[in-house]
């Protein structure tokens, strides 16, 4: 499938909705999209279906991601992405004589869903329609690729500086990368190439069709906001994921701190649906939601907790601000994230907030995501 500027924009908006508030920021994503169409031949890049690709099982690819604080952005992020990919490619050629023939995003989020297409534009390497979370996650070990060897790996900045890493365990790699990313040389933002693996391995440890799903969400949202006819196949596809409305109101306050190359935040929203206050805790991504009318956490990861502005646009934790009127949505997690060993990883991650309670990842109510968006996003034809 050829991906041009319109589909890149759909991808950014859809991934911003699905990313649970994280996965980078929209400003960085749109800057990368402009670079992609300016750099790629004829302004288009290739997205390969997880089912219908033409590679044999021995083809090698890798994951490409930006890492660091959600709001951080390097002036020439595309150069950091290109350096990470190129240096990992050179290392594999030197050591095992293998070329990287495709790239994959680590997660669903506005910036990290776009990042692999920078490589596609620069080097002509296609992107495979999978990722490792179906949402955004704060640490590498929460991605579904965590059972694969992460090394060799490269982290790079936009000045041409890079580190080549050989670390066996992905959790150890993440622990080492955070202080590197938080150093003055990187400024809380870096680009990462890791998990070089055969295509069959990546397919076996991935969430399929994640990019095309995010694009479908973005297209649906765009059509709703513009009052355009919605393709029934698109609506049916988006409805495969279940969601519900958790709250609706104005953002009363946002508390932020940047620490260890993470953005930690607490957003408080006056909920007109229940009369209570919704509090959302984030470590780059939204992980825990409370309502003052209920004891204990109402929702936790791995469910996605996300914001939709009342004009129909999705916003991340990098964009939301005091006074915004938002819908708070809960979007069901992929089934693989609900497996016992992965739930344990999420539970351990929530201890960052001194939360030791049970995970609460069941939707309090549910409907198809397309149906929910159709109810919430104003149609200009009907608005006088």
Tens of pLDDT along 247-265? 999 999 999 998 887 889 9
Percent of the chain with pLDDT over 70: 98
What's residue 347's pLDDT? 96
Tokens representing 119 are: 């490589």
**Which residues lie across from 162 on neighbouring strands?**
156
Contact 209, 50 (CB under 8 A): yes
- Average of pLDDT values for 328-340? 97
Which residues, at least 6 apart from 227, have a Cβ–Cβ distance to it below 8 Å?
379, 380, 381, 382
Strands (E), 284-359: 285-291, 297-300, 304-309, 314-315, 325-331
What's residue 54's pLDDT? 79
User: To which residue do tokens 């502005």 refer?
Assistant: 309
Domains and CATH numbers, the chain: 2-208 (3.40.1610.10), 239-376 (2.40.390.10)
What's residue 383's pLDDT? 43
**Nearest CA among 252, 310, 312 for reference residue 276:** 252
How buried is residue 3: exposed, middle or buried, by Cβ count under 10 Å (0-12/13-18/19+)? Answer: buried
- Give, as one character, the DSSP assignment of residue 57: T
Q: Tell me the C-alpha distance between 329 and 372, whole Å.
A: 9
Residue 34 reports pLDDT greater than 80? yes
Residue 187 reports pLDDT greater than 50? yes
What's residue 17's pLDDT? 98
Per-residue pLDDT band for 73 (boundaries 50, 70, 90) equals confident
What's residue 384's pLDDT? 37
Per-residue pLDDT band for 51 (boundaries 50, 70, 90) equals confident
Give the predicted TM-score (pTM) of the model: 0.95
What's residue 239's pLDDT? 98
Residue 218 reports pLDDT greater than 60? yes
Q: Tell me the C-alpha distance between 164 and 147, whole Å.
A: 21
Report the alpha-carbon angle 376-21-361, nearest 5: 80
CA 341 to chain centre: 21
Residue 71 reports pLDDT greater than 90? no
User: 111-120, 223-232, 374-383 — which one is most confidently predicted on average?
Assistant: 111-120
Q: For the range 171-175, what are the long-range contacts, defined as Cβ-Cβ under 8 Å and sequence gap of 24 or more?
A: 171/139, 171/140, 171/141, 173/140, 174/139, 174/140, 174/141
Q: 298-320 as b/e, with b when 16 or more CB fall inside 10 Å?
A: bbbbbbbbbbbeeebbbbbbbbb
What's residue 253's pLDDT? 97
Contact 17, 163 (CB under 8 A): no
């Amino acid at each position: 499938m050829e991906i041009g500027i319109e589909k890149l924009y759909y991808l950014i908006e859809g991934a911003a909705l699905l990313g649970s508030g994280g996965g980078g920021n929209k400003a960085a994503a749109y800057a990368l999209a402009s670079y992609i169409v300016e750099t790629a031949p004829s302004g288009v890049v290739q997205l390969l279906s997880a089912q219908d690709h033409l590679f044999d099982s021995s083809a090698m690819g890798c994951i490409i991601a930006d890492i660091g604080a959600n709001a951080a952005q390097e002036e020439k992020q595309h150069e950091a992405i290109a350096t990470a990919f190129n240096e990992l490619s050179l290392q594999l050629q030197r050591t095992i004589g293998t070329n990287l023939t495709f790239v994959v995003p680590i997660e669903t989020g506005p910036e990290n869903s776009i990042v692999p297409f920078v490589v596609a534009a620069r080097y002509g390497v296609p992107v495979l329609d999978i990722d490792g979370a179906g949402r955004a996650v704060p640490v590498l070990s929460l991605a579904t690729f965590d059972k694969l060897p992460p090394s060799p790996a490269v982290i790079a900045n936009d000045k041409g500086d890079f580190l080549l890493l050989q670390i066996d365990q992905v959790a150890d790699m993440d622990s080492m990368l955070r202080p590197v990313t938080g150093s003055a040389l990187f400024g809380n933002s870096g680009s990462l190439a890791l998990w070089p693996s055969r295509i069959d391995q990546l397919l076996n440890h991935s969430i399929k069709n994640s990019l095309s799903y995010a694009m479908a969400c973005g297209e649906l949202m765009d059509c709703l906001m513009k009052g355009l006819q919605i393709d029934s196949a698109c609506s049916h596809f988006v409805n495969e994921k279940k969601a519900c409305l958790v709250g609706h109101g104005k953002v009363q306050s946002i508390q932020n701190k940047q620490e260890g190359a993470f953005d930690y935040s607490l957003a408080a929203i006056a909920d007109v649906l229940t009369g209570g206050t919704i509090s959302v805790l984030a470590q780059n991504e939204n992980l825990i939601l409370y309502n003052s009318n209920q004891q204990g956490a109402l929702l936790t990861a791995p469910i996605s907790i996300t914001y939709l502005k009342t004009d129909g646009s999705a916003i991340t934790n990098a964009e939301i601000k005091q006074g915004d009127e938002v819908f708070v949505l809960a979007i069901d997690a992929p089934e693989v994230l609900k497996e016992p060993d992965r739930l344990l990883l999420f539970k351990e991650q929530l201890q960052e907030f001194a939360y030791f309670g049970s995970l609460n990842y069941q939707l309090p109510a549910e409907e198809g995501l397309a149906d929910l968006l159709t109810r919430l996003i104003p149609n200009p034809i009907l608005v006088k």
